[in-house]
């Protein structure tokens, strides 16, 4: 399959006084954004997966919950610290973060040292073949989280951000709802979650929560996505190989 040569895009939130505007998903909200071409390079020079072989979350005591605002909380109820992760399902640097630190983070979640609030955004819809892939992938993650199966959610989330599955920006194709539903089934999600994804049941809510997440990201001081925040402080997750270990410590 051939694809158009499109440089990866990194999203940088800007205050609402900026003159660049766009309207997201039919919602009557003016959205301000600057798209920085070229993205972020790994300062460490290594993209090897840390804790390779661990896999996703496996502790049956870990919980996942879908909040009213669309945020997904994954962790033990008494986790020592909670971080906020902002990402887009089509963002290649978000995929790199998942590839490099996802398994390491899964172990920290299993051990109760870290819990994660996922804010899944959709600013890259416009670079997807279907025009709404990011939003539909947000909805799919919410469908799985809504069932309360943390192990299945962790596996599905990792699959969505896997280089083997992630559509390319400006590519000729992405995943249909039926294909996302099959990915969820392969991750161990319930029939209810699979039907929710296949039917596109949460797409409208996902568009709203993605926009809310975009607005929240703009207040954090983060330079773009992916962004990792702990107690209001931006963590250098792209430049510091040891950030998960430091949180767990």
* Residue 228 Rama label (left phi>0; alpha psi -120 to 50; beta): beta
pLDDT tens readout for residues 4-13: 334 454 555 5
Rg (CA), the chain: 17
- Range of lowest pLDDT (12-21, 105-114, 179-188): 12-21
* Angle, CA of 244, 223 and 52, to the nearest 5°: 25
pLDDT at residue number 248: 79
Listed by start position, the domains of the chain span 50-248
Band of pLDDT at residue 37, cut at 50, 70 and 90: very low
Distance between CA 94 and CA 106 in Å, rounded? 16
CB count within 10 Å of CB 158 equals: 19
Q: Looking at the domain that runs over 50-248, which CATH code has it been given?
A: 3.40.30.10
User: For residue 222, what pLDDT is reported?
Assistant: 95
- Full-model pTM: 0.84
Greater pLDDT, 152 or 15: 152
Contact 10, 225 (CB under 8 A): yes
**Is the confidence at residue 147, as pLDDT, over 90?**
yes
What is the arithmetic mean of pLDDT over 195-213? 98
Give residue 8's pLDDT: 53
| In the predicted structure, residue 106 carries a pLDDT above the cut 60 | yes
Whether residue 4 is preceded by a cis peptide bond, meaning omega within 30 degrees of 0, is no
Q: Are 229 and 222 in contact (CB under 8 A)?
A: yes
Give the closest residue to 33 by CA, choosing from 105, 124, 149, 101: 124
pLDDT value for 1: 38
DSSP for residue 42: -
> For residue 247, what pLDDT is reported?
93
Predicted confidence (pLDDT) per residue in 45-79, tens digit = 457 899 999 999 999 999 999 999 999 999 999 99
Looking at the predicted structure, is the pLDDT value of residue 34 above 70? no
Mean pLDDT of the chain: 86
Phi, psi angles (nearest 5°) of residue 59: -75, 120
Please tell me the total number of residues recorded for the chain in this structure. Answer: 249
Q: Is 98 exposed, middle or buried (0-12, 13-18, 19+ CB in 10 A)?
A: buried
* C-beta separation of 247 from 108 below 8 A: yes
């Amino acid at each position: 399959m051939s694809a158009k040569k499109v440089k990866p895009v990194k999203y940088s939130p800007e205050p609402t006084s900026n003159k660049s505007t766009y309207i997201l998903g039919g919602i009557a909200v003016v959205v301000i954004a600057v798209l920085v071409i070229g993205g972020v390079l790994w300062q460490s020079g290594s993209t090897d997966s840390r804790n390779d072989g661990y896999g996703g979350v496996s502790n049956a005591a870990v919980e996942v919950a879908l909040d009213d605002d669309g945020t997904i909380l994954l962790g033990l109820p008494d986790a020592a610290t909670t971080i906020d992760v902002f990402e887009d399902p089509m963002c290649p640097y978000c995929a790199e973060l998942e590839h490099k630190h996802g398994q390491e983070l899964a172990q920290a979640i299993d051990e109760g040292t870290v819990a994660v609030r996922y804010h899944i955004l959709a600013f890259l819809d416009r670079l997807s073949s279907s025009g709404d892939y990011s939003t539909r992938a947000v909805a799919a993650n919410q469908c799985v989280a809504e069932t309360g199966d943390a192990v299945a959610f962790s596996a599905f989330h990792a699959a969505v951000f896997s280089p083997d599955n992630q559509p390319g920006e400006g590519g000729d194709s992405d995943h249909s709802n039926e294909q996302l539903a099959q990915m969820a089934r392969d991750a161990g999600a319930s029939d209810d979650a699979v039907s929710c994804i296949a039917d596109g049941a949460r797409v409208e809510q996902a568009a709203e929560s993605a926009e809310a997440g975009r607005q929240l990201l703009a207040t954090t001081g983060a330079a773009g996505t992916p962004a990792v925040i702990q107690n209001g402080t931006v963590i250098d997750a792209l430049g510091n190989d040891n950030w998960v270990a430091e949180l767990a410590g």
